[in-house]
């Protein structure tokens, strides 16, 4: 196939949705195969477009995977927001976000590893801006809960907020990978285990929040 499919009845997406079509095809393949070892040609075939079509929006595979990772952060943020919409207390909201975070990683490990692993890392610890922006927006949900009193009192000090997020992220990230790699178990105890780790982590932060050193960023930062 060398041209875009022109028949509207057969084409899964309109021409203006080509970017979305390729990203959604990548998300589907990633979820199904749990591997990033796919080609842009394969995605084009799945989306019903020419094998050159992806290059209209993506310079290479890394560029595409950055967009996929960004969507992953958007989906995780939506999952976290959905988990908190019926909750009023900031601690309950933060706890619900943690459960959503771990659940998201368990449900799609390959996407989680893409989002939080080193594949998209570049020189000087840089990551694609589209991904960093989406990650920053997800982080804002956690920041809001912490500043509103999730750890027993409102917090406005940026270094303390980042310190709390670093502890929160370290615990949830480590737990997620342990569960994904089945280094703890059994599977029927995962919910209780997650809850115990989560509540212990929150109790610890209520007692003591480590302020990160000056110049340390937790994010990654929006600036390159």
Ranges of each domain in the chain: 15-58, 68-207
Coil/strand/helix, residue 81: helix
Pick 68-207's CATH classification: 2.115.10.20, 2.60.40.640, 1.10.357.10, 3.30.420.40: 1.10.357.10
Segment 98-102 long-range contacts (CB within 8 Å, at least 24 positions apart): 98/168, 98/172, 98/198, 98/201, 99/194, 99/195, 99/198, 100/76, 101/76, 101/172, 101/176, 102/172, 102/175, 102/176, 102/179, 102/194
Domain 15-58, CATH: 1.10.10
pTM for this one?
A: 0.86
Q: What is the pLDDT of residues 53-81, one digit of tens each?
A: 888 899 899 999 999 999 999 999 999 99
Judge whether 67 and 42 are in contact, CB under 8 Å. no
Closest of 98, 114, 89 to residue 30, by C-alpha: 114
Q: What is the pLDDT of residues 83-125, one digit of tens each?
A: 999 998 999 999 999 999 999 999 999 999 999 988 887 655 5
């Amino acid at each position: 196939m060398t041209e875009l499919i022109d028949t509207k009845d057969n084409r899964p997406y309109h021409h203006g949705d080509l970017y979305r079509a390729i990203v959604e095809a990548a998300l589907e393949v990633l979820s199904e195969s749990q591997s990033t070892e796919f080609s842009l040609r394969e995605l084009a075939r799945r989306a019903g477009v020419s094998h050159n079509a992806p290059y209209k929006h993506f310079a290479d595979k890394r560029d595409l995977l950055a967009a996929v990772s960004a969507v992953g952060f958007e989906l995780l943020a939506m999952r976290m927001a959905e988990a908190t919409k019926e909750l009023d207390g900031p601690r309950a909201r933060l706890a619900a976000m943690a459960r959503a975070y771990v659940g998201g990683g368990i449900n799609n490990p390959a996407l989680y590893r893409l989002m939080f692993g080193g594949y998209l890392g570049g020189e000087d610890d840089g990551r694609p801006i589209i991904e960093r922006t989406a990650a920053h927006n997800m982080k804002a949900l956690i920041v809001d809960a912490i500043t509103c009193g999730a750890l027993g009192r409102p917090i406005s000090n940026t270094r303390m907020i980042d310190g709390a997020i670093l502890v929160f992220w370290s615990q949830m990230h480590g737990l997620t990978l342990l569960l994904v790699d089945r280094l703890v178990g059994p599977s029927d105890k995962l919910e209780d285990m997650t809850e115990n780790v989560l509540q212990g982590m929150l109790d610890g932060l209520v007692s003591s929040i480590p302020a990160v050193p000056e110049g340390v960023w937790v994010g990654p930062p929006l600036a390159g």
